[in-house]
Chains A and B, each alone.
Chain A
């Protein structure tokens, strides 16, 4: 016998602790089953794209920090690559290796946040989050040595990085490379074959490859559906064609595979960092003022450059009118676009799965609203 119930609509957010910022959803339930989801954005909209039009090209780097504030280095990298292409700047090799080290460390930090909060959303208060935050802290301290800031780094400059890494940084980095694999294992021992995590995440919110590609979904979510699409391999930028790494993929496309994929990607990122440390050679970290002035004036034109961010394809579209500030700056935000299928993923699942699915998509409101 089935019991009919009245649909009820609930507002979740914008100040709900599990929404990872100021995200708001209007969710309609039938009993405990979700029948409709309407995401509502804009609570963190600061008009970054308009602000950039009144700043110089180098000043815009600070705006990218404040977009996805758990992966600032990656945002810096994406923007600087677009600017270098637009202004025909030739980067210095040491600067490029340094920014690859920085951005791969940032990818690890971002995935640690994603995993930590995903498990937190599952109801495992404390331990896994503390473990992942402990490792992230080490990375943030290394960033502090590099540029003096932990979150809003602004470490990259056109043609390289702001300054060379101090001796202390290399010591910490070597210790981290030594230590991190055992820490990932520790985290995995707790989570990967955990019965509760199995039953809560396996087969929940399944996406197929066709659905994901059609909705422009990229990054770990696309790779969890079995597509080996990683811009570091398919469209290499910086020196990613000179390092060896694999693209982990899964075919299930559910919440569990998205979690597992991030763990594997952290190991691959560490592999890249190791190779960068071996290949880096002494030299200048950015071009001299005479080559690239502080006020960059790219020739008239436009360019679109995309990198593999921690959450997917992070694209920057820059239009120059020949002046010292961008005529138009657009960010292809992977966080926003990865939410396109939120409704399809959630409808039919239960209330308890809502935030687990949401956590496994891994968005950052700073990048969604910009």
Chain B
């Protein structure tokens, strides 16, 4: 399977959607989070890319910002690519990014999981609520500043 070079892919995207790519390296393309939906739609629907399978979405906490990571695959052109978007600079409580649910239904549970564990809200997702933890759980555990040995969570949940 062909792995798209990030720099080549970034050029291709930028030539169709101006200024949507902020940065790129050999493997990744850093997309402007404001334009993530347009870029994804372009990558899914343009022949030559045809990324019809959304392999995985995940997010990483880098202390001063979050990174949402998309792994795309194409069954038609037999290729894969990694798209990233940096959100939540300055540690707002609830960073936001556009959902890709309307392009790929496979984003449904994965975006909910990111919201649950990392606290990134996906706008226009039809059912944006917690998936693994219970409603009212304090905080988002995969964030780096989450206190892991806080017994009060257990005690509060028993009430």
Contact = CB atoms under 8 A, between A and B. Distances in A.
Contacts of A235: 1, 80
A340 interface: yes
Contact of B141 (A50, A327, A341): A50
Interface in A222-244: 227, 229, 234-235
Interface residues of A, number: 35
A341 B56 contact: no
Interface stretch (A19-27, A62-70, A120-128, A208-216): A208-216
B106 A340 contact: yes
Contact of B104 (A215, A336, A369): A215
Given A214-B105, A229-B75, A42 B56 contact: no
B32 to A, nearest CB: 20
Interface string A192-219: 0000000000000000000001111110
A216 B55 CA distance: 6
Contacts of A337: 106, 109-110
A304 B142 contact: no
A315 B109 CA distance: 15
Contacts of B106: 214-217, 337, 340
Interface string A331-345: 010001101110000
A215 to B, nearest CB: 4
Interface stretch (B10-18, B90-98, B130-138): B130-138
Contacts of B109: 336-337, 339-340
Contact of A45 (B56, B61, B69, B132): B132
Interface residues of B, number: 32
B148 interface: yes
B128 to A, nearest CB: 15
B82 interface: yes
A317 B56 contact: yes
A47 interface: yes
A254 interface: no
Interface string A39-65: 001100101011000100000000000
A330 interface: yes
B45 to A, nearest CB: 13
Interface string A295-329: 00000001010100000010101010000000110
B105 A315 contact: no
Interface in B63-101: 69, 71, 75, 78, 80, 82
Interface in A161-188: none
A332 B55 contact: yes
Contacts of A339: 109
A42 B142 CA distance: 15
Contact of A213 (B60, B61, B75, B141): B75
Contacts of A370: 132
A116 B3 CA distance: 39
A323 to B, nearest CB: 13
Given A42-B133, A340-B106, A216 B71 contact: no
A31 B5 CA distance: 55
A239 B142 CA distance: 35
A317 B54 contact: no
Given A337-B109, A340-B106, A216 B54 contact: yes
B53 A216 contact: yes
A217 B113 CA distance: 17
A319 B108 contact: no
16 contacts: A45-B132, A47-B141, A49-B142, A54-B148, A214-B52, A215-B104, A215-B105, A215-B106, A227-B75, A304-B56, A304-B69, A306-B56, A315-B56, A317-B56, A317-B58, A341-B105
6 A-B pairs with the lowest CB-CB distances in the bound complex, closest first? A216-B106, A332-B56, A235-B1, A42-B132, A330-B58, A215-B105
Interface of A: 41-42, 45, 47, 49-50, 54, 213-218, 227, 229, 234-235, 302, 304, 306, 313, 315, 317, 319, 327-328, 330, 332, 336-337, 339-341, 369-370
Given A302-B60, A315-B55, 12 more contacts: A41-B131, A41-B132, A42-B134, A215-B105, A215-B106, A216-B104, A234-B1, A235-B1, A315-B71, A330-B56, A336-B113, A337-B109
